A and B are shown apart, each in its own frame.
Chain A
Amino acid sequence: MTGASGARPLLGVDTLPPLHVPLRFFATAAVFALLAGLLWLVEGEAAFATRWSGAMLAATHLLVLGFFAMVMFGALFQVIPVLGGTGIPRPVLVAGLVHPGLTGGTLCLAGGLWRGERTWFVAAIVLLLATFTVFVASVAPIVLRVRTAALRPVRLAVLAFVVAVALGMLMAIALTAPGLGIAYRAWTNVHAAWGGVGFGFLLVVGVSHQVVPMFHVTPAFPPLVVRLVPWLLGSGLAALLLPWDVTSAAGMLAIAAGVLGHAVATLRLLARRRRRRPDAAVLAWRVGLGAAALAVLLALTAALAPASVLPDDTRSRCELAAGVAFALAGLGTIVMGMMPKIVAFLAFLHLQRRCLRSTAAAAHLPVMDEFVAPSTAFVLLALHGLAAAASVAAALVPALAPLAGIGVLGTAGTLLALLTAAALRYARASRAIAEALGPPATSRLGPPATR
């Protein structure tokens, strides 16, 4: 394959949104994690008494929508240009609509679930539906038009998100209008699977196909794994929608095979990485994927074990523990491991392109470790590991709930401090570079943060 300047569309920093777009989502995600930790701390044992407690449902959605979806939406503004070669159109405008909509909608939903008030549910349905429509309408044309293999898992993840939202809306309507008699609880596990595995894990799969070889200098994922894992996960999730026990069991087995397959493939690649310096992100991939695999096996056991072996109350505890383990110890660990690296990389890349033609400006360019110190990334990961372990333990022994709350609070506070420090370092370097470059006329590129 041969290419030359100007011969084809190029992927460059120009297709990436300004740094403040993803950073705004990441910082808000940390605040939502703070709220979830606070809720667990305030409600204590009652929150973990049953998976149906208002506080548990509220905290779950503060974490999955307020933290995970918030981070993933912010990341998609960066990921889609990288994987698809074309960015989300008008990213600042779309982010300006989606960010407050997701923030407000999640707060209303959590309030409604916690307090059981109809008004909150109605507000949540309106806000979240409008927000998701804007986001999916902005993303769908790209993921449907660009047929690269790299975008395939993202395309499936967006589809899974739509299904998870549709099921969630059905449940919210059932809670708002009990007279309709919708048996929403029967759909809870399916809703959680489409959200957690479909949107969450498939997006992780799509991103890892790119970032694991790129950031950790490993060989590429085997083509068979790249094709098979999204197919297993997608067909497994589809089977869960069918009304028969046998198809549900087959669906769960396919999902477990997909998660395990991706975990094993990634761990094998990481074992072959060429650079061996200690890296919090590598540890996060290992721990997160291991935890996700164990969580799926626990969920599978809880679903398939006969009643004579697993009493209903133990089964319910195992289901809750599997959900918490998959979300916090699995996806959460991967997000906490990658976020410091991605933030530092993006901050560096945005400043770097302003220094291309000025040695004086380049002298003010910080190295990546100055945005987020590697030791801070390890501290964040260790705190998150403790918080995730305490949360899984609390799912089994509800009296440990305050410990889970304190753990999540500590992790979220550290993440917020880390992001703030990185943003301040970026702002300081940006000012110094602007001064070194002189009046704006000397720089055709301009500061990315103001575009």
Chain B
Amino acid sequence: MRQRLLDVRDLEPPLPLVRTLAALHDLAADEYLLMRHRREPLPLYDMLPAMGFRHRSRQTRDGQFDVVIWRATAPEPADAP
């Protein structure tokens, strides 16, 4: 699967959410979104199933979060970080 990177670490609320939802809207069937955020975007997680997406998250060594989001109809991207 192809990766789309979205770095929202320098944005103030609600821009990280707005930009992520816009990116998901445009996400192609063979793409997944890798979102970089300075906080764990908990409100987003609750919205994803209703929109037909799944996610997994990982806290990086510097305390930030990498969130991988893919369409629920697609397999989990194995090559994502």
Q: Which residues of A contact B (CB under 8 A)?
A: 1-6, 10-14, 213-217, 220, 274-275, 345, 348-349, 352-353, 356-357, 359, 368, 444-445
Question: Are B58 and A357 interface neighbours, CB within 8 A?
Answer: no
Given known contacts A275-B10, A352-B14, A359-B25, A3 and B56 CB-to-CB distance under 8 angstroms: yes
Which residue of chain B has its CB nearest to the CB of A14? Answer: B46
Q: Which residues of B contact A274 (CB under 8 A)?
A: 10
Q: Which of B12, B43, B55 contacts A13 (CB 8 A)?
A: B43
- Give 21 A-B contacts (CB < 8 Å), ordered by A residue: A2-B56, A3-B45, A5-B54, A5-B56, A10-B46, A11-B42, A11-B43, A12-B43, A12-B47, A13-B43, A13-B47, A214-B12, A214-B13, A217-B12, A220-B63, A274-B10, A345-B14, A352-B14, A356-B21, A356-B50, A357-B51
| Binary contact track B35-59/A, C-beta < 8 Å → 1, others 0 | 0001100110111111100111111
Known: A12-B45, A275-B11; 14 extra A-B contacts, CB below 8 A, are A3-B57, A5-B45, A5-B48, A5-B54, A10-B45, A11-B43, A12-B42, A12-B43, A13-B43, A352-B18, A356-B50, A359-B25, A444-B50, A445-B50
Question: Are B13 and A215 interface neighbours, CB within 8 A?
Answer: yes
Question: Are A2 and B50 interface neighbours, CB within 8 A?
Answer: no
Q: Which residues of B contact A445 (CB under 8 A)?
A: 50
Q: Which residues of A contact B56 (CB under 8 A)?
A: 2-5
Name, among A213, A217, A348, the residue most crowded by chain B CB atoms within 10 Å (CB to CB): A217
Closest chain-A Cβ to B51's Cβ sits at a distance in Å of 5
Question: Are B17 and A352 interface neighbours, CB within 8 A?
Answer: yes
Chain B interface bracket (under 10, 10 to 19, 20 to 34, 35 or more): 20 to 34
Question: Are A2 and B58 interface neighbours, CB within 8 A?
Answer: yes
Which residue of chain A has its CB nearest to the CB of B18? Answer: A352
Q: Which of B12, B48, B55 contacts A275 (CB 8 A)?
A: B12
Question: Are B63 and A348 interface neighbours, CB within 8 A?
Answer: no
Q: Which residues of B contact A1 (CB under 8 A)?
A: 57-59
* C-alpha gap A444/B14 in the complex (Å): 23
Question: Are B12 and A356 interface neighbours, CB within 8 A?
Answer: no
Closest chain-A Cβ to B73's Cβ sits at a distance in Å of 14
Which residue of chain A has its CB nearest to the CB of B17? Answer: A352
Q: Which residues of A contact B39 (CB under 8 A)?
A: 213-214
Closest chain-A Cβ to B44's Cβ sits at a distance in Å of 8
Closest chain-A Cβ to B49's Cβ sits at a distance in Å of 6
Given known contacts A4-B56, A214-B39, A356 and B13 CB-to-CB distance under 8 angstroms: no
Question: Are A215 and B55 interface neighbours, CB within 8 A?
Answer: no
Q: Which residues of A contact B46 (CB under 8 A)?
A: 10-14
* C-alpha gap A34/B74 in the complex (Å): 57
Question: Are A348 and B14 interface neighbours, CB within 8 A?
Answer: yes
Which residue of chain B has its CB nearest to the CB of A273? Answer: B12
Identify the 4 closest CB pairs spanning chains A and B, nearest first: A12-B46, A11-B42, A1-B59, A4-B56
Q: Which of A4, A10, A345, A357 contacts B42 (CB 8 A)?
A: A10
* C-alpha gap A88/B18 in the complex (Å): 27
Q: Which residues of B contact A11 (CB under 8 A)?
A: 42-43, 45-46
* C-alpha gap A217/B64 in the complex (Å): 13
Q: Which residues of B contact A359 (CB under 8 A)?
A: 25
* C-alpha gap A274/B58 in the complex (Å): 23
Closest chain-B Cβ to A403's Cβ sits at a distance in Å of 36
Which residue of chain B has its CB nearest to the CB of A365? Answer: B18
Question: Are A5 and B11 interface neighbours, CB within 8 A?
Answer: no
Which residue of chain B has its CB nearest to the CB of A368? Answer: B14
* C-alpha gap A390/B36 in the complex (Å): 47
Given known contacts A216-B12, A345-B13, A368-B14, A356 and B51 CB-to-CB distance under 8 angstroms: yes
Q: Which residues of B contact A345 (CB under 8 A)?
A: 13-14
Q: Which residues of B contact A368 (CB under 8 A)?
A: 14
Closest chain-B Cβ to A224's Cβ sits at a distance in Å of 16
Name, among B13, B51, B56, the residue most crowded by chain A CB atoms within 10 Å (CB to CB): B13
* C-alpha gap A359/B21 in the complex (Å): 11
Q: Which residues of A contact B13 (CB under 8 A)?
A: 214-215, 345
Q: Which residues of A contact B49 (CB under 8 A)?
A: 5-6
Which residue of chain B has its CB nearest to the CB of A444? Answer: B50
Closest chain-B Cβ to A348's Cβ sits at a distance in Å of 6
Closest chain-A Cβ to B79's Cβ sits at a distance in Å of 16
Name, among A12, A215, A275, A359, the residue most crowded by chain B CB atoms within 10 Å (CB to CB): A12
Closest chain-A Cβ to B11's Cβ sits at a distance in Å of 7
Which residue of chain A has its CB nearest to the CB of B21? Answer: A356
Q: Which residues of A contact B11 (CB under 8 A)?
A: 217, 275
Given known contacts A5-B49, A445-B50, A349 and B42 CB-to-CB distance under 8 angstroms: no
* C-alpha gap A275/B38 in the complex (Å): 14
Q: Which residues of A contact B45 (CB under 8 A)?
A: 3, 5, 10-12
Q: Which residues of B contact A352 (CB under 8 A)?
A: 14, 17-18, 21
